[in-house]
Amino acid sequence: MARVAIVTGGTRGIGEAISVALKDMGCIVAANYAGNDERAREFSARTGIAAYKWDVADHQACLDGVKAVEGDLGDVDIVVNNAGITRDGTLLKMTYEMWREVMDTNLGGCFNMAKAAFPGMRTRGWGRIVNIGSINGQAGQYGQVNYAAAKSGIHGFTKALAQEAAKSGITVNAIAPGYIDTDMVAAVPPDVLQKIVAKIPVGRLGQANEIARGVAFLCSEDGGFVTGSTLSINGGQHMY
């Protein structure tokens, strides 16, 4: 029987690559998105993957969204928490609203989605949760105290939930991407991007499908002995 997977932020960038990789692996995939209806329709028409709209920062919306997916596609076995936003600025310029929005979406979304899907996984005795962190949650980044704090929190969340989940046949892991060639990175000024690439030992940006292949492994049967781990896919930019 095919596993049902939800990928948050799953209609563009890294999320799109993950959605497609899981479909290619034989999963029935629901791609969550928050805002761009036209982009979501184009994604579904091109990939054949159903798109579902809700805000992962909204706890009740996540509960309702998972129920809707289960009603349409079946019990949810896999959750990939990929949805994320940036509201960059130094601490002196950062408003509380900029802090709260990033924390509620990037970290709160992981809690909300796990809370919605975990009970069913536990009852059935099988599940995969993969949380997308960041190199900037590991090493920090100037002008991103909100983003770095949220992504760092994801790594701690992953380790703690993995301990709770292991006895129920559920693995919980994280992936920490480095700088990936997506729309978000394309918005970085060229001179700044050139300096970033110069610090990556392999000498290039990563590709979204390189992250997706890591997610696919962690979500597979073969990944069953890996839990509480963070897989860094960053071209050697941060090693520890």
Per the CB < 8 A criterion, the answer to whether 155 and 198 are in contact is: no
147 included as an active-site residue:
yes
Whole-number Å distance between alpha carbons of 49 and 40:
10
Catalytic residue among 33, 52, 96, 147: 147
Per the CB < 8 A criterion, the answer to whether 114 and 158 are in contact is: no
- Residues taking part in catalysis: 147
